Structures are given as structure tokens and as C-alpha cells.
Amino acid sequence: MLAKNLSASVQEPGDPMTSQETYISTSGKWKIIAGTVALLILALVFNALLSSSSLRKLYEESIVSEYRIIGKDLQRNLEESLRSGKNIRDIPGMDSILEETKERIERDIPEGNMISVSVVLPDGSVRYSTDKKLSGATLPEQVRFNYENAEDEKKSSLKSHYTKYENTCITALPVRNREKKWEGTVIIAFDEKQVRDLHDAVFDKNVRTLMIIMISSAMLQALFNLMILSKASIQRFPKRKISIVIFLVIILSQLVFSGLNVNTFKNHYLQIHKERIK
């Protein structure tokens, strides 16, 4: 099909009765090169979109993991109180304890991002919360966590400990008494805007990288194809070689972009983490 499309730009041999091969004209070569470069750019853009979606999920899980580390201190304090005989419904000083946990989470987080720390009973009622609107309320079924079985909790993954509801990310840590009975749940909720802000900050840095990779890959693709097509003919069109070059350049450029994308995220996230430790 490609050979037929290029027939108009083919240089006819001097003698139609000879067995000379019909070589691809210069304009025909550039049409092929332009097509392969366009395919390369489409592949890179598609990969960038997929990477953006995957990294957004990574950002979300990273934030959840960090908040859970802070939340585990609150979880341990509550469990120690239960072991000492206190009732989870009546633990003195809970408001200040929750506020302290919230302040640790909020450190260096841009203003305008919502954070709330709550203790929820197994029936879904909010016993304590830094958000006064939640105190005494009952959580909707979509955001309730069931930790009746302690063995299931050990086997579960991070995904089973957090969910999203109305643009809010919610992660949970179960609170158990001395007999390992589930007495309540620590709930940390934060605005999904935090994920978007982190994603946008990293993605903006990667746009320039993507453009550089696109230009470099396009030039490399054009150079290789020009070398292959320099002595190519319609009769022996090098489809296999061109396909291999396209495949290799696309794979290489995607690997480089993905690697730089992840590295940028790591550096950005580590910088944020170091600032929070100070």
C-alpha cells in the first residue's frame, strides 16, 4: 500500500524494458520519514498520558503512606489507653491529641488543603474529630471500614485501607483492645487537591523534558530512516528495517521519559519530606 502511494513520486527508469529497479524519489523518502516521525510523536504523547495517570496514582499512595505513618502514633496511643482500661468513648484530652496529629500532617502543606483527623466507632459514628462538623455524625456506608477480622487485616494491602469519596481521600487505621477486638478506627481525610498539586508540580517540570525527548527522538528517527532509504527501491522496500527502527526508537524514548519522570517525582517528594523534617 505504501509503495502504491509513493508511485507518483517514483523516478521512472530510462528504459521500460530493462530490469533496473525503481528507486524512491527524494520527496517519497521524506513522506515516509514524516509518517514515521508522526507515529513516534503520537506514541510519546500517548505514553506521557499513561505515565501521568500512573504517576498520579503513585503520588496518591505516597501521600497516604506518609499520613499513615503519622497516624500510627495516634493509633498506638489509643490502643495503650484501651489496654490500661479506658473506654474509647471517654478518653480524656482527645481533642488536643487529634489536633497535634493534624498539625504534624499539615506541616509545610500549602494553605487551602483540607485535613481532618477523626476517631470513628465500629458503627460508623464519629466520636472525636478535628472537624467539628463531623463530631457526632455518622459516616456514609461508602467510607466505612470493617476490621472485625484481625487476620484479614494482616493480609490486606494498602488499597484496602483507603478510599475516595466526593473529592476526598480517606485512609483508616484500626484501633484494637488488649483482646484484639476492634474498638474503633482512626480516620485521616485530606483533599484530593493535594494529589493534583503534587502531580501538577512534577508534570510541569516534565513537559520541557518531554519536548526535548520528542525533538531528539524525531531527529534520530529521521536520520536512521534516511540512511535506510538512501538506496531503497520500490521492488525491495525495507519495511522490516523501518519497522525495527521505529520500534527501537519508540521504546528507547519511552524508557528515557518514564525514568526521568519517576526520578523527578522522587527528587520533588524527597525535597518536600526533608522540609517537613526540619
- All domains of the chain in start order, with CATH: 25-54+196-277 (no CATH), 67-191 (3.30.450)
Kindly report which listed range (126-130, 176-180, 235-239) carries the lowest average pLDDT score.
235-239
Q: Which three cell numbers stand for residue 229?
A: 532509504
Torsion of CA 199, 200, 204, 206, to 10 degrees: 20
Kindly report which listed range (146-160, 217-231, 248-262) carries the lowest average pLDDT score.
146-160
User: 227 vs 35, 214, 246, CA distance in Å?
Assistant: 16, 20, 13
Greatest mean pLDDT among 112-116, 168-172, 198-202: 168-172
The rounded percent of the chain whose pLDDT value lies above 90 is 24
The C-alpha atoms of residue 109 and residue 117 are separated, in whole angstroms, by 15
Residue with cell 468513648: 89
Statement: residue 217 has pLDDT above 90: no
Statement: residue 80 has pLDDT above 80: yes
The C-alpha atoms of residue 158 and residue 156 are separated, in whole angstroms, by 7
- Which residue did the predictor score with more confidence, 263 or 128? 128
Which residues are registered as beta bridge partners of 10?
24
pLDDT digits (tens, 9 = 90+) for 174-209: 999 999 899 999 999 998 888 887 777 777 777 788
Residue with cell 520528542: 214
264-274: average pLDDT: 64
Q: Which amino acid is at 269?
A: Y
pLDDT digits (tens, 9 = 90+) for 4-51: 443 444 444 444 434 455 666 677 777 877 888 888 888 888 877 777
- pLDDT given at position 38: 87
